[in-house]
Structure 1
């Protein structure tokens, strides 16, 4: 248990850097409108794309991520076939907002029509501000919607998307009285708010909401009270913000030990509970539901990537592929790369299924619902293949 909480603190430190840095510093890009008209329509289907990756920081994990993103983008370019030509130029930002903004400016001077990346929220915000006067769109790999808007779009999976998808399935199965159980930290607060909105959007009811101190002792102290509240509120599901690298193993076990009956009160996950795969063997989580991208499509991408590069891709690398897929689709249509084109309602198809960008800079993804059964993630509601009637 101590090990799980130690990992959680490390994980959330990274989360705060990537996703939820202070809002006042990050919302600037959303306040700067994209230039009128946006980037011009591709001539002859050719688009110059600047890919901003976090290599060059001296951090080994950043370099591995940079290489994986670049490899996936190159694979996507090769997959486009006729009708679209992508001139992909890769820039190493070192994870620095100032460097990212400077390189984006350099890329625009060199003819870039759109920016793909960067990874970290502070970088993406800086790039968005730098590119807004030029009318150049930024497809960031972040999932922090605080930086989205104007000319900045986030490609990463969001709490909003997962909360609504899981809540929608749960309500349809009769699990419509939801209790929110959140980490008492920035990530937990953001996740709780997303769950509130998601449950309301699909016709469910939040019957109670509680949080716990983010520590082993905090969870132990709160467990009995959480179970008592769930019973008194007659909750049919507990929606947890906890993730697998954080409090989830300790929290789920503590709640069951305190008397929670998961046969009548279903655990719902805001994040993916199949990574790492060892999480699936936790006894307390058997029968739980969570959302994930179309596993069959991603498995195909993973297999092809391994054949091409000799190693498995990082999950985030799929976002680079998706970005190129969207750009290529617009190029084939002869459309420009402005916000109006990027937010076409039909969306795009990427390595994990369908996705579309929204006018507010967020995204929607077609997710599957999985149930944990005997240590396996079993898809019980497949990901939609189009947004028509997908329930978004």
Structure 2
């Protein structure tokens, strides 16, 4: 158990750093016009001693009981359970669990009042263990459950939470387990796909293609892509007739011809395997039609000044990969004469990886991801306190615990968790839909000059953002006093 005491030398260094950053890290309720009142940022009483070291086995913490000795008799205690795979067989899962716990501890010490108690519970590595962890949390009086991390564990724990009427903030990226009191606090790929697809659609693109893995992730991203395109253009296939310039050969003047193209999602190609399977899928994609680019015309173009080509059978292609897989896939498309000067390469948040910025085939590609400024503030404070950089998912632990602190006094009912104006977290704006899935305010990035640049900033309020709005990413939603 993480016991919340009151403020002191043990937290002085981290609180001093947090104070310097102000409320830009604060997860707070938003309104459509003006920010809500700042949430409580410090304990009511000074902390005695240093905070406990981050736990590696939450079961040991839970065995201490759910009421700290110094809080015996304290009225209105709010107990929040944190279900994570601390003893999973995978070292990566154990490490992720430890980082999520550290981030949640940081949020409790920064954001919560003296009556909030965090109850870590070990989900192990099986759905049954997760189920028992949820049952233990509820028997300990948890009013809110954060976690688990993996889809099957969420499904098992979610059943227990629903039966008990206890809301659960899932950390899984799967939306299949959301609903009926289970809320998805994660980074679902369909949100990233929708954001970047709508952005490129606003540039005038009407013909889209897909190439991706024949995995659950590939299927989810393809379905989100197809749905977004249908929402923008209507049901497909449809067709449009355009006049395009046709080369007549060396020394001859080009001439115009009328061509008819299908619009919408014109083709989807899946692969199951490495570079050989990718090459075959890319060849199938290219067989749909590749526009030839005149060398003189190419000399005047760059991916930075891209506009949809009227003569290309598909103008945009989604590549939902990351890391080594993406470094293999993108050059394969170039090998098949799919030219990024004509066809815009777009992707998901997996592209936000420094190892990809030097890949020439991805230069000037577009993808959607979290607000970079809000994230950098969290990373700075986490590293200052724990002496290490947080993982990509650690911010979810901070946001979940901050949300628990924000709503602690009024409870965790669906009217409060489902606030239509949403919340501002360390990865930007988010809110929960009525079905429990998450909607995130994401930025659109490009890869350019060996780094990432923001093309379209993440929104600071929910509502239809104007393309190219100039939003000050450094402006905090709230400026609490320290």
Q: Pick the TM interval, shorter chain.
A: 0.7 to 0.9
Residue 367 of structure 1 pairs with residue 442 of structure 2:
yes
Give the superposition deviation at 1:230.
4.9
CA contact (8 A) 1:329 1:348 kept: no
Partner of 1:264: 342
CA contact (8 A) 1:326 1:349 kept: no
Partner of 2:203: 173
Give the superposition deviation at 1:174.
2.2
Query: Cα deviation per residue 1:30-83 (whole Å; 9 max; x = unaligned)?
Result: xxxxxxxxxxxxx9875210001111224322221111011100111122255x
Q: Which of the pair is proportionally richer in helix?
A: 1
C-alpha RMSD over aligned residues? 2.0
Q: Distance in 1 between matches of 2:206 and 2:450?
A: 26
> What does 1:149-164 correspond to in 2, within 5 Å?
149-164=179-194
Partner of 1:335: 410
Residue 48 of structure 1 pairs with residue 107 of structure 2:
no
Give the superposition deviation at 1:186.
2.9
Q: Distance in 2 between matches of 1:230 and 1:340?
A: 51
CA contact (8 A) 1:53 1:91 kept: yes
Q: Distance in 2 between matches of 1:149 and 1:313?
A: 29
Give the superposition deviation at 1:213.
3.4
Partner of 2:29: none
Greater Cα shift, 206-215 or 65-74:
206-215
Candidates 313, 316, 332, aligned match of 1:234:
313
Give the superposition deviation at 1:235.
1.3
Partner of 2:393: 316
Q: Distance in 1 between matches of 2:319 and 2:313?
A: 17
2:273 is paired with a residue whose SS is: coil
CA contact (8 A) 2:112 2:405 kept: no
Query: Cα deviation per residue 1:2-48 (whole Å; 9 max; x = unaligned)?
Result: xxxxxxxxxxxxxxxxxxxxxxxxxxxxxxxxxxxxxxxxx987521
Residue 61 of structure 1 pairs with residue 61 of structure 2:
no
Candidates 197, 211, 219, aligned match of 2:278:
219
Residue 377 of structure 1 pairs with residue 452 of structure 2:
yes
Give the superposition deviation at 1:189.
1.7
Q: Distance in 2 between matches of 1:125 and 1:344?
A: 24
Q: Distance in 2 between matches of 1:221 and 1:181?
A: 11
- The structure whose Rg is larger is 2
Partner of 2:23: none
Q: Distance in 2 between matches of 1:167 and 1:387?
A: 18
Q: TM-score, normalised by structure 1?
A: 0.83
Query: Cα deviation per residue 1:298-318 (whole Å; 9 max; x = unaligned)?
Result: 111111001110111111111
Candidates 334, 347, 350, aligned match of 2:422:
347
Residue 132 of structure 1 pairs with residue 210 of structure 2:
no
Partner of 1:187: 217
Residue 326 of structure 1 pairs with residue 403 of structure 2:
yes
Q: Distance in 1 between matches of 2:267 and 2:76?
A: 53
Alpha-carbon spacing, 1:203–1:79, altered in 2? closer, same or farther (3 Å): farther
Structure 1 residues without counterparts, runs of 5 or longer = 1-42
Give the superposition deviation at 1:112.
0.4
Give the superposition deviation at 1:119.
0.5
Query: Cα deviation per residue 1:331-351 (whole Å; 9 max; x = unaligned)?
Result: 3xx433123321111111111
Query: Cα deviation per residue 1:280-302 (whole Å; 9 max; x = unaligned)?
Result: 11110001000110111111111
Alpha-carbon spacing, 1:118–1:282, altered in 2? closer, same or farther (3 Å): same
Partner of 1:38: none
> What does 1:189-204 correspond to in 2, within 5 Å?
189-203=219-233
> What does 1:82-97 correspond to in 2, within 5 Å?
85-97=115-127
Query: Cα deviation per residue 1:159-218 (whole Å; 9 max; x = unaligned)?
Result: 221111011111112233211222223321221111111222334822322223332211
Alpha-carbon spacing, 1:61–1:222, altered in 2? closer, same or farther (3 Å): closer
1:73 is paired with a residue whose SS is: helix
Partner of 2:70: none
